[in-house]
Structure 1
């Protein structure tokens, strides 16, 4: 298949809502996702997508920052590939494209969170050279 990897412009971020909605298994409404993405546009956030014939089939957010322990870093967020395109090497290609993109921007580290029960993703990220540094905690206020 002929995949096109690119950054999704802020004015087109609404097209990622169906994929992020599927990732969250409908636990966050599409309306709330749209509201949050409209806020994210104003922060150090970009969104990368994979397209086939202008159809978005994979997505990840990119949060850019400088961290005391890793320097200039990008945190991948809401990594999602539509189920019918999984296990075909697309994830590996997407991660490679993202790595090249962020390195060209001058960033020297990539990090992400993955759900504890998502064992296939753990194996994938290990194989991509990621190491587990700790646990991610969340407290809703």
Structure 2
């Protein structure tokens, strides 16, 4: 599927495409994950991707021609309190493509995947210090409904 989107600041029209990233090419997402986790070694990201790519996890990519400009990993699962849901995992837009419609297209596609899989909810976590992400999710009608607690072993 191809969608025309006006890109700022030069307002040229880009051909953005979306597709699920195949597990054999999953390492193309590493530069965007490094953008999200600058203090996490690339080798750690790679080894964790190697593990999760074989689980119930997938990754949607947004491409500008052949360049990957946005990703959203996701899990499909079922919980007692809400039934079937899609969990957004690592929603990242290349810094150079922020405020250009890439995030909106990524969100639209995630919602379509949730609908196709009969999910009743779309859920995610964001770090307490990531105010930009919190603003983004609130702007897209996501509600804060709880706390995510972690006990490190």
TM over 0.5: same fold? Answer: yes
Contact 2:76–2:86, Cα closer than 8 Å, also in 1: yes
**Total equivalences in the alignment:** 140
Alignment of structure 1 residues 67-106 onto 2, 5 Å: 67-106=79-118
Q: TM-score, normalization: structure 1? A: 0.93
2:25 aligned with 1:12: yes
2:129 aligned with 1:117: yes
The ranges of structure 1 where at least 4 consecutive aligned residues each deviate by more than 2 angstroms after the TM superposition are: none
**45, 53, 63: which one pairs with 2:65?**
53
**23, 43, 46: which one pairs with 2:36?**
23
Residue segments in structure 2 that go unaligned for 5+ positions in a row: 1-13
Report the Cα offset of residue 106 of structure 1: 2.1
Calculate the aligned-residue CA RMSD, in Å.
1.2
Aligned with 1:3: secondary structure?
Answer: strand
Contact 1:45–1:61, Cα closer than 8 Å, also in 2: yes
For 1:24 and 1:138, the matched residues in 2 are separated by 18
Q: TM-score, normalization: structure 2? A: 0.86
Deviation per residue, 1:81-109 (Å, 9 max, x gap): 11111112221221011101221122221
In structure 1, what is the equivalent of residue 10 of structure 2? none
